[in-house]
Amino acid sequence: MSGGCWYVRCVQANAERLPFPDGSFDCVTIGFGLRNVTDKAAALASMRRTLKPGGQLLVLEFSHPKIAALKPLYDAYSFRVLPLIGRYVAGDEASYRYLAESIRMHPDQETLLAMMRAAGLEGCSYHNLSGGIVAVHRGYKC
């Protein structure tokens, strides 16, 4: 096969202690999972450890709305509508309530940025999506 990715090995692992050698990857990414990690600082350090020099970490995660008018609407949706959808569509209101609660407990954009810097990543930045409901954070191992 020419070009592209033709072989991918999937590994289920603890993000706080990734089972890969130092400097294994050009890019490490986590999407909508960091908020479920108990020790976020350990996970960020583990991800940084597995990056090659010049490699980047990308974190896609729910975050905190930055548009003031959006916050009460988002809260109403998260804590009232989303659990009802979970109850009627998936038969699981509790999981959808947990989703809303875990989003509120997750660090805001600036706090996560500081955590990435504290983990030794450089050139850290973030980009808000949907008014800050979701953010993409990026940092590099130099």
pLDDT, tens digit, for every residue of 102-139?
A: 999 999 999 999 999 999 999 999 999 999 999 999 99
Global pTM exceeds 0.75: yes
Q: Residues near 56 by Cβ (< 8 Å), separated by ≥ 6?
A: 26, 27, 28, 138, 139, 140, 141
Burial of 28 (0-12, 13-18, 19+ CB in 10 A): buried
- Contact partners, residue 130, CB within 8 Å, separation at least 6: none
CA–CA distances in Å: residue 16 to residues 40, 49, 110, 138: 7, 11, 21, 18
Helix (H, G, I), strand (E, B) or coil at 94: helix
Q: Answer yes or no: do 50 and 87 share one domain.
A: no
Do residues 98 and 43 share a domain? no
Tell me the C-alpha distance between 58 and 134, whole Å.
13
On whether both 94 and 115 belong to a single domain, the answer is: no
Summarised one tens digit per residue, pLDDT across range 34-64 is: 999 999 999 999 999 999 999 999 999 999 9
Query: Do residues 120 and 51 share a domain?
Result: yes
Both structure tokens of 98:
């947990």
Same domain, 94 and 117: no
Number of domains observed in the structure of the chain: 2
Q: In this structure, are 1 and 21 located in the same domain? A: yes
Same domain, 115 and 52: yes
User: In the structure encoding, which two tokens stand for residue 128, read together?
Assistant: 């808000």
Give yes or no: residues 87 and 68 share one domain.
Answer: yes
Residue 84 lies in domain? 64-105
Which pLDDT score is estimated for 2?
56
| E strand or H helix that includes residue 97 | helix 93-105
pLDDT, tens only, 60-107: 999 999 999 999 999 999 999 999 999 999 999 999 999 999 999 999
CATH number of the domain that residue 21 is part of: 3.40.50.150
Same domain for 121 and 57? yes
